Structure 1
């Protein structure tokens, strides 16, 4: 099997890259290990998006318009131009698949793990299991669209992790010494209100410790749920410092390590659901048992804020965001994407990690060189 561009990983970035490649008249294939396209947006249930509301452009703009069109007749759904985008994960996944299916030159394979990759002349040779059979794909260009940089790891790409020092990055906001800590992951839950009279209390999760969730008592639980409100009486449950789970790079050193960390994160979120039901009286609000086919009804993937960074052809730093037009590098001239989401800081244990005061965070662009791995064709 031959193709011009092979995208391994059908997350949000991978799908956008695949669609744009195919629309540029290049034969393109997307391989996705799981059952859905969309990555964190869908399989990870990060389905309340308050960023880029003023930049409805590109594939993102197309996706958001499809979402608003889908829900336009739903009572109370905000379809104004810069409203926070809210959608059920399965709906988002369906829209992405339908969009991909309409694009000429694009082939998508779901439930398709890639096995290996190696350099092959000017291109790459990739082994994947397509429809249960080992298949070789030869591609001129490979894009790593996985959630954890799995393709780059197999190719031996060097990575950076955590906070670089001020001397390394040249950023005045950086710590004086490097700090190799990465942000927590969160296993989000999609909850549903089954009606005031319902009792949908889940089974007490293994290792349940109610002290892990006591801090939620200080929050207005109604506001917390409202911030994650979705159509059809559903909620996205993601509470900073409560169902966050601390991770290290070692957790991604092997499939076994990753699975252990993932299982612990799932149990922590199930514990939060159980706490809401048994301590805060929300027994009528429980996991939506139709959104995901997983045994515990949690999303297929965690929401990963970061894992590791490959070294790009160029390094983008904070000064390229705050003062892009006076920098000698002029990286904005090679922009391939824009954004306006301010950086979150989810680091546990709280108080033991650097907290950065970014101040007012402006909109920014991402230069092409930051996304191209240095030293690899």
Structure 2
């Protein structure tokens, strides 16, 4: 990695006599937190003309994508969802990572943490209106009525008193929300509260000790292994010791390790099945005492290091300690992967009902008129024991299952009580159950982008965020010159197509024109051409392959047969899926695809002949 990368929750009313500060400084927008959404909000606010300050507690600023080591993002794989800052992020990495991003089987994107951090830091350095301070600790806050006025921070042994028009919480745990005493939720809600089908009953919450032992989703302290040149010829000869005895049972050693394989053979160990999820004393994550939070961190770190040690022992020399982070233990991520923390009470809230398809056959959820971001993840909760049963929200597409898209309304980013506070991370207004689908990196990047743009527009217009005309925010997200972002879940046009932008604008102007299958009504789309299966951008690692197309009996998986060779096919391109889903078995095809040996599949980007 480059040398540039080595390197009591209560309100207090501040008075000028109480502290001797180096300086009192004023900004348009201040973003607290080293989360993925925090850096997105800061970059977008500065790109949109606001003088912005980003404050992070650690030396890195990328949150889940880099500092927490979750460098194989889930969701938003399809090209129609690769928009906004997520799209800019993943396309830039695809062109700059020499080995490409097809590196594992949990995701279509795998990159090293420092590769993500280097890109995000380059975005920050490119913005003259953006300043970043690392190594910060929050002190007191001055809140007057429904507004945050000033914040005390300590940074590099100096104390500062900061003023801002708009404040954004970009932390995983909602730390600024708590310090400002903004109302928030934490933990489970009953089925009766929001009518969510996957939530437990009020009676179960009251009587079952599981819910008090497990108040939020389990976090993971990611640890990195390093694969040697080749896999062993035989499976593991020893089983992991307790508490990891079941870690290899479902998939075996090779599949367990290549699940989170990254470029250069680095291995992201973020394994939920008898692995390094942590389930104990999770209330300490938001405890007032730093010693309680530190104890939790230490327990999580030691647990993950033991997991790495056990897998190394089982691997017959195939797995060793990895090096990915600038610390004395470079195999350990710089921060935990918090799946859930405080969740701000906003002007509106996203519940499970907002995620689920409007009918059993539909390919989208409800369509709020104020949508500012599109999520796609299926819904995934991490607890000890058996999987928590969740209402399905997936469909068959592209040779496998994919999550159906859902929308995030702008009001879920706006505090219900503090008029100049926005949320840009998984701490936005969402239910506990819905958090399982909204907490992922791609959506959080784009939520952060929307929060940053809203903050800059509020400053420019001298309005409170809740007073902004959301229609204007939506159109500016779609037309953003750096990272145009989808705000409506339209399946037909990928982000690279010239008619993608116009389709988004039309649905914003009239949401009723978007059908339940995610396509535009014919009258609205008659003058828009659909993408051709040969027209997708070329792939640096693409190979031309030929053979006869066929599918499984259930129609889910696609295959290409050529002599004795049988290749599994997937695609992220709507035009390619349109052809493959309608093709007859035995059809001769000429394809361009990228091979992922750990999938194992070939990701088809173009159909040359069919």
Scaled by the length of structure 1, the TM-score of the pair is: 0.87
Q: Tell whether 2:244 aligns with 1:213.
A: yes
Asked whether the equivalents of residues 334 and 368 of structure 1 are also in contact (C-alpha less than 8 Å), the reply is: yes
Aligned CA RMSD, in angstroms, stands at 2.6
2:183 maps to which residue? 158
**d(CA) in 2 for partners of 1:123 and 1:245?**
35
State the alpha-carbon separation in 2 of the partners of residues 229 and 273 from structure 1: 14
Residue 123 of structure 1 and its aligned partner are, at CA, apart by 4.5
**Partner residue of 1:203?**
none
For 1:346, which of 375, 378, 382 is the aligned residue? Answer: 382
Residue of 271, 289, 296 corresponding to 1:261: 296
Name 1:227's counterpart in structure 2: 259
> What are the Cα deviations for residues 154-188 of structure 1, in whole angstroms up to 9, with x where unaligned?
11123222221122112233221145621101111
User: Partners of 1:44 and 1:141 in 2: how far apart?
Assistant: 27
Q: Distance in 2 between matches of 1:124 and 1:49?
A: 36
Question: How far off is 1:27 after superposition?
Answer: 1.0
Equivalence for 2:412: 370
- For residues 75 and 326 of structure 2, what CA distance do their matches in structure 1 show? 25
The answer as to 2:156 corresponding to 1:131 is yes
Tell me the number of residue pairs that the alignment of Structure 1 and Structure 2 aligns: 356
Provide the residue aligned with 2:120 in structure 1. Answer: 96
Moved more, 337-346 or 178-187: 178-187
SS of equivalent to 1:29: strand
Answering whether residue 287 of structure 2 is matched by residue 287 of structure 1, we say no
Find the counterpart in structure 1 of residue 572 from structure 2.
none
Q: Give the secondary structure class of the aligned counterpart of 2:355.
A: helix
Secondary structure at the counterpart of residue 340 of structure 2: coil
Deviation at 1:233, TM superposition (A): 1.8
Call closer, same or farther: CA 1:98–1:282 in 2, change over 3 Å: farther
CA shift at 1:130, angstroms?
A: 3.0
Q: Secondary structure, in 3 states, of the residue corresponding to 1:214? A: coil
Secondary structure (helix, strand or coil) at the match of 1:118 reads strand
Offset of 1:66 from its aligned partner? 1.7
- The separation in 1 between residues aligned to 2:358 and 2:142, in whole angstroms, is 37
* Greater mean alpha carbon deviation, residues 23-32 or residues 209-218: 209-218
Q: Write the distance in 2 (CA, Å) between the matches of 1:260 and 1:5.
A: 34
Q: Deviations over 1:264-284 (max 9, x none)?
A: 111111111111122x13434
Cross-structure match for 2:268: 236
Aligned to 2:28: 4
* Corresponding residue for residue 206 of structure 1: none
**Structure 2 unpaired stretches of 5+:** 1-24, 206-210, 232-239, 395-402, 420-610
Shift of 1:28: 0.8
* Distance (Å, rounded) in 2 between the aligned partners of 1:282 and 1:43: 29
Residue 196 of structure 1 deviates from its aligned partner by 6.6
Aligned twin of 2:392: 358
> For the residues of structure 2 that align with 1:290 and 1:48, how far apart are their CA atoms?
14
Match of 1:309 in 2: 343
Once the two structures are superposed, residues 314-349 of structure 1 have per-residue CA deviations (whole angstroms, 9 ceiling, x without a partner) of 1222222225699xxx7622122112112212112x
Q: Deviations over 1:218-248 (max 9, x none)?
A: 1311011112111112111111131110143
Structure of higher CA gyration radius: 2
Query: Is the 1:335–1:367 Cα contact (8 Å) retained in structure 2?
Result: yes
User: Cα 1:357–1:17, aligned 2, differ >3 Å: closer, same or farther?
Assistant: same
Shift of 1:249: 2.4
Task: Determine the structure 2 residue equivalent to 1:118.
Answer: 142
**2:278 matches 1:245:** yes
Q: 1:315 to 1:192 in 2, by over 3 A?
A: same
Counterpart CA distance in 2 for 1:342 and 1:226 is: 22
- Alignment partners' CA distance in 1, 2:154 and 2:292: 23
Q: What is the correspondence of 1:56-67 to structure 2 with a 5 Å cutoff? A: 56-67=82-93
Which of 58, 82, 105 is matched with 1:34 structurally? Answer: 58
User: Which structure 2 residues correspond to residues 80-91 of structure 1 after superposition, within 5 A?
Assistant: 84-91=108-115
Alpha-carbon shift at residue 194 of structure 1 (Å): 4.3
**Cα distance in 2 between the residues matched to 1:152 and 1:188:** 26
CA distance in 2, matches of 1:282, 1:157: 52
Give the distance between the partners of 2:367 and 2:176, measured in 1 at CA: 26
Match of 1:205 in 2: none
> Separation in 1 of the partners of 2:296 and 2:68?
15
Query: Please, what TM-score do these two structures have when normalized by structure 2?
Result: 0.55
CA deviation string 1:64-113 (max 9, x = no partner): 12211211x32x6549xxx7111110111111000111123111112222
Q: Does 1:70 align with 2:106?
A: no
- Mapped to 1, the partners of 2:353 and 2:167 lie a distance apart of 30
1:252, distance to aligned residue in structure 2 (A): 2.0
